[in-house]
Amino acid sequence: MNILSVIKKEWFLVAMVIAMILAVLIPEFGRSGGILHLDDVTGMGIALVFFLHGIALSPKALKDGVSNWRLHLFIQAATFVVYPLLWVIFGHGMQSIMPTALAFGFCFLFVLPSTISSSVAMTAIGRGNMPGAIFNASLSSILGVFITPFLIQFFMGLQGAQLNMMDSVLSISKLLLLPMVLGQVLRPLLFSWIEKHKKVVGKADKYVILLIIYNAFSDSVSDGIWHNFSIDYLIMSLAICMVVLFSIIHLMRWGAKFFGFDHADEVAAVFCGSKKTLAAGIPMAKVIFGADPRLGMILLPIMIYHPLQIFYCAILANRYQKHALELESK
């Protein structure tokens, strides 16, 4: 019963593993242009997910969070400056010890925007600055539409992986930004309906991600990308993700104290500035890298990083909550 309760609670992580196993066993169903045509299905699913995100975003909360510019600069600098510097410092070394596609996966991880839902949720648990978290998580997603393709072009273009940045930006805008804006426009009409069905709607992004993972890994298996991939690379990837996550989070905590942030701003800064998005990252990867058969390997770092950041940040959020309660009781 304990095992079943764990599986039920962590069904998404279990489902990601199952999706990868299915890709190994029956890649013909999931590959692009295959029986299920998942490359077309997932494109429509991604647009739907970000349309729903647009409906869920509260304009009032965004307005309330605008004025705290020190917090905004701190979070966005962590996301789009500190993280990419890791690739500048360690990128060459990574390429020398692992397959190029896997190394580029870490490059992609480092230049992704922050999450929206989990950053805001962790901030809420930790009694942090909610308007600031909502504003920065949303701003990060919008900036990422433009900054992520640019940084990918800058870093990977130097290695001969030429990308059409303008096409990537336009494609990502149509796939992610346009549905989100449309969701905001239609929010007054659809918000109450979404709230009534939020248990089902809230899982839509996870269902779409699972289909994308199955599609990406089916393409990789069909093209034989994993033939030379050893368990050593998987362990190495896990270790790198853990070191990066712990280092960034504790750097953010030190930086927040150094700049004199109060408890609420520190919580928002740590959770919005340390996270990387899986929900937007995988669709971005499909646009930027197209039908590249190495996509499964490129996605591996963010797929490892995602559950790690959720797990560790959940522990940290509970600690912040206890600290907040102690402050309130004084």
Distance, CA of 63 to CA of 135 (rounded, Å): 8
Percent of the chain with pLDDT over 70: 88
SS3 string, the chain, reads: CHHHHHHHHCHHHHHHHHHHHHHHHCHHHHCCCCCCCHHHHHHHHHHHHHHHHHHHCCHHHHHHCCCCHHHHHHHHHHHHHHHHHHHHHHHHHHHHHCCHHHHHHHHHHHCCCCCCHHHHHHHHHCCCCHHHHHHHHHHHHHHHHHHHHHHHHHHHHCCCCCCCHHHHHHHHHHHHHHHHHHHHHCHHHHHHHHHHCHHHHCCHHHHHHHHHHHHHHHHHHHCCHHHHCCHHHHHHHHHHHHHHHHHHHHHHHHHHHHCCCCHHHHHHHHHHHHCCCCCCHHHHHHHHHCCCCCHHHHHHHHHHHHHHHHHHHHHHHHHHHHHHHHHHHC
Residue 250 pLDDT level (bands cut at 50, 70, 90) = very high
| Cβ atoms of residues 275 and 313 within 8 Å | yes
Report the pLDDT averaged over residues 25-34. Answer: 83
Task: List, as own/partner pairs, every contact residues 35-38 make where C-beta atoms lie below 8 angstroms and the sequence separation is at least 24, other chains included.
Answer: 38/211, 38/212, 38/214, 38/215, 38/218
- The tens digit of pLDDT for each residue in 134-172 reads 888 888 988 988 899 889 888 876 444 455 566 667 776
In a domain, 3, yes or no: no
In a domain, 229, yes or no: yes
- pLDDT of 326 strictly over 90: no
- pLDDT of 8 strictly over 80: no
Tell me the angle at which helices 204-222 and 38-56 cross, rounded to the nearest 10 degrees: 150
In a domain, 262, yes or no: yes
In a domain, 131, yes or no: yes
pLDDT of 261 reads 93
Total count of domains within the chain: 1
Is 228 or 286 the better-scoring residue by pLDDT? 286
In a domain, 7, yes or no: no
pLDDT of 183 reads 87
In a domain, 330, yes or no: no
pLDDT of 158 reads 45
CATH of the domain at 184: 1.20.1530.20
Both structure tokens of 13: 């992580």
Domain range for 142: 23-324
- The tens digit of pLDDT for each residue in 74-125 reads 999 999 999 999 999 999 999 999 988 899 999 999 999 998 777 887 887 7
- The tens digit of pLDDT for each residue in 287-299 reads 888 767 788 888 8
Query: Tokens 């989990």 appear where?
Result: 118
pLDDT of 164 reads 58
In a domain, 96, yes or no: yes
In a domain, 186, yes or no: yes
- The tens digit of pLDDT for each residue in 181-234 reads 898 889 888 888 888 877 767 677 678 778 877 887 787 777 665 666 678 888
pLDDT of 165 reads 60
Amino acid at 52: L
